[in-house]
Structure 1
Amino acid sequence: MTVTSIDVLDSVVDITAQTESDTISESLITTILQLTPANQVLVLDYNPDTNPDFMVVACSDIFLFEEEKDAIERVLRSCVAIGDNVVEYSKTDNQSLLAVPIRFGEKDDIHAVVFCKCDQVKGDEVQLIEGLAKIYENYQKIISASERDGLTGLYNRKVLTTKIDLLLDRFLIQGSSITDDPTHHHWVCIFDIDHFKQINDTLGHVFGDEVILLITAMMKQNFDDEDILFRYGGDEFVAIMHPQSREDMEATVRNFFDAVNNRDYGQAKNVSISMGAASINDQELNAITVLGFADQSLYKAKQNGRNQVAFYEDLIASGELKSLVPEDDVELF
């Protein structure tokens, strides 16, 4: 395969034309397939503190990971262990397996791996794939910064639905349900600060921002590292919680409420929050549906006295809410 400098330049243009993390991954896969001997490509997130620690973000073959999981994970783990490219030749099917680490974050740790399966790969072809992965890595850092809220550092509203839909898609790609334990679910929690407008009106927006930052700090302290935290806008926040039982989920939320209620806010005196929560399962239609469930529950929590959490499933069971019938083209926020 002859690759010209124009081909490489065009591929860089294609990758950097994307504006979201997930579409960049798809563009990287397309580029590697076009410019190298690779016939199958995976992009996987890596987090040693989660189970599974490798999670498919994007792929050229939806069945590849499940069908060749042992061989792929062996190469991925070797790549992470040495912190560098790994090439392994498979005599069984005369294919080369290549893994290239992707580094993000303040500590420049490995947070993702690009995996390629290809015909025997040469040194310059490995270098080309490594170079494309480095372009991907650098541009992901730029995009990641744009996905964060400027005040709190949490994810912003722009990527909320994308993150939930990606969560659902990943489990479909890897051939699994949301969780193997039917009593464990991902959870979406939406909450806001009770009477926050009064804080801004009486004490000023600078003081209001300080309250926002205190709430953010308590979120980071009380939610798990696996949970994904967002500032939806103003005094509204969202947490996507990792798979767990409702009992464990409620314990986390209870600790968070206690932290908020017991905090000294100075002139603001008492500050409280109201929250709506809903479980995510692989039967849900999309992110908008799940967020709609939690948002309806938040409304009920506020209606029933504030400073409390309301669960969508409980409200449906009690008849306080009727089942939401979503329309795919209607935004619920």
Structure 2
Amino acid sequence: MRVGLFALGIGTGARPGAILKTAAEAERRGISTLWVGEHVVLFDRQDSKYPYAASGEFPLPGGADWLDPFITLTFAAAVTRTIRLATGICLVPEHNPMVLAKEVASLDRLSGGRFALGVGIGWSAEEFAALGIPFERRAQRTREYIEVMRRLWSDDTATFHGEFVNFDAAKSFPKPVRGGKLPIIFGGESGPALKRTADIGDGWFGFNVGPDDAAPLVDKLRAMLKANGRDPRDVEIVACPYTKKITADDLKKYDAAGVDELVILSSPPEDESQVSGWIERIAREWVEPAAKIR
């Protein structure tokens, strides 16, 4: 089992020195993936309910530092060579898909083909409103945008006519290293979210998924994949406990459930000189035990 790290781009993980040191040390100690999340704007108060808190309250204040994930990952890519880079997640319906396709392809090329696009449809109606994008039909918008981007990444000359996007004979270069097969990993734990993965995803990222939650969700996803005639072994399974408290003993439960990568959420220390020690602890507590399972 692999271990990823969700640590960069927010709060103490938004500082240049912390990003560079964390990325380099994480790669050195065998962490599989650096995951970076996305919000364009935050609010001190909003009516939308955050899905990962019982109170519905988002855990960060509106004034929290939150970097753009693509710039953050490009910065990290410059000091690494092998560690995977991924959005966890990118709010795809908040983007212009032509621009997003270019950003993804650029990051993937500059990193030598190490990027995976983690995708979500968003939960904050206030954020969509601030960006001037309809909150309704965001799931349908996301599916179409994914199709558009894969077309741009695959075809030398791309044409598309859909509900939200229309263009003829467009060229977008460079392509990602794997072209249209750049991995797209869908987030979300609901039935519709799992169905998106089963229909068009290369992977699934379950957030706030405890060791006992993983198996039922993975089983449901596998059933959907089989119903679609897809081999479940071709779809990556990623899980992050987030608020769920776990121990190293729980790694076996995640493995038995079929989880390929467990993502540890942890913020870099305030003192950047302590980043190396922080990564060492994560490696001892999670990376080394996980490596022994498979």
Task: Normalising by structure 2, report the TM-score.
Answer: 0.27
Asked which structure has the greater RCO (Cα within 8 Å, sep 6+), the reply is 2
Task: Normalising by structure 1, report the TM-score.
Answer: 0.25
Question: Counting strand residues as a fraction of each chain, which structure ranks higher?
Answer: 1
Q: Which of the two has higher C-alpha Rg?
A: 1
